[in-house]
Every structure is written in structure tokens, then in C-alpha cells.
Amino acid sequence: MPGEPVNAAPYRLIDDVEFGENVVVYAFTNLYGCRVGDGTRIGPFVEIQRGAVVGARCKIQSHSFICTGVEIGDEVFVGHGTMFINDRFPRATNASGALTTEADWSLEGTIVERGAALGSGAVIMGGVRIGSGALIGAGAVVTRDVAPGETVAGVPARVIRRP
């Protein structure tokens, strides 16, 4: 696998990333400890954290946040400002009042299957699976699994179209 994107863009933090062929990463991105598949394009102001996986031929639009525990399949569209959450009950401090550490929370992984599309501003809670070809409306808050081919929208997201 290539060790860096095919384009030269300033102001990028790229550390310990596995890149496929022909990956494009724009400026002002933070990518560390993740894997990005062939032909994927990552827009500016995107962060992809350690352990996250992005498939081949995906488009990750600007200002999106993909955290640890997220697996995105091939040919997925992630709209501007999409946020993934991997902790259902986040806290700044633990019961004793000390700042929380990794020992104080449970990682809830998320899977986005092939060909799904996530509208701009969507929030994807941890522990959900978004099926292949599903469409998530702009601004939706996804709190439970979305079946393949379904369209969901709203807060919380509700099915508005079935395949």
C-alpha cells in the first residue's frame, strides 16, 4: 500500500495511516492510525481517528469526524459535517471526580455498509449498522440500525422510505 496520498496539500496531519492507491486528502485534515481504501477522496477539515476504516471509492466531505470504532464500506458518501459518536454515555469525569480515561468508557463500534449515503450534518450514534444502499437525510440523528436500502430522516431518524 502507498504510504501517502497522491496529492500534495499543506497543513495535514498524517500519522500511521494505511493508504490504498490513488487516495486524495485535502488540506487541514487529521488522519492517524486509520486505513483508507483505493480511490477515496477526503475533504478539508476532516478527522479520522485511530482504528477507523474507510473503504474504497468513498467521498468524505469537509468538516466530518470519523472516530475510533467506525468501519465504512466501499462507495459510501459522507456529507459535510457528518459526525460519528462512539460512546453512548460520555462524561468528563468519573465517579471519583478524576478526568475520565479509556478505562472509564465503552467503545461502541459503527458499521456503514457499501453504497450508503449520509447527508450533511448527520449524527451517527455508536453501536449502529447502516445497511448497504441506505440513505440518511441531512441533519438526521441515527440512534438505531438502518436496513439496506432504507431512507431515514429526522431527529431521531425514522424510516421514510423502504426499498
Active site residue 80: yes
Cell of 53: 476504516
Banded pLDDT at 130 (limits 50, 70, 90): very high
Distance CA 152, CA 147 (A): 10
Banded pLDDT at 85 (limits 50, 70, 90): very high
- Which stretch of DSSP H or E encloses residue 153? strand 151-153
Mean pLDDT of 65-88: 97
Distance CA 6, CA 73 (A): 21
Specify whether the CB–CB gap between 24 and 7 falls below 8 A: yes
Q: Specify the higher pLDDT residue, 101 or 36.
A: 36
Percent of the chain with pLDDT over 90: 85
Order of all β-strands in the sheet with 70-72: 18-19, 35-36, 53-54, 70-72, 110-112, 129-130
**How many Cα neighbours within 13 Å face the side chain of 125?**
15
User: Please, what are the domains in the chain?
Assistant: 12-88+99-161 (2.160.10.10)
Q: Specify the higher pLDDT residue, 106 or 69.
A: 69
Which residues pair with residue 36 across a beta bridge? 19, 54
Percent of the chain with pLDDT over 70: 99
Distance CA 75, CA 58 (A): 5
pLDDT of residue 90: 87
pLDDT tens for each residue of 33-43: 999 999 999 99
Dihedral sign, Cα of residue 76, residue 37, residue 42, residue 15: positive
pLDDT of residue 1: 56
Mean pLDDT of 111-127: 98
Catalytic residue among 57, 80, 114, 129: 80
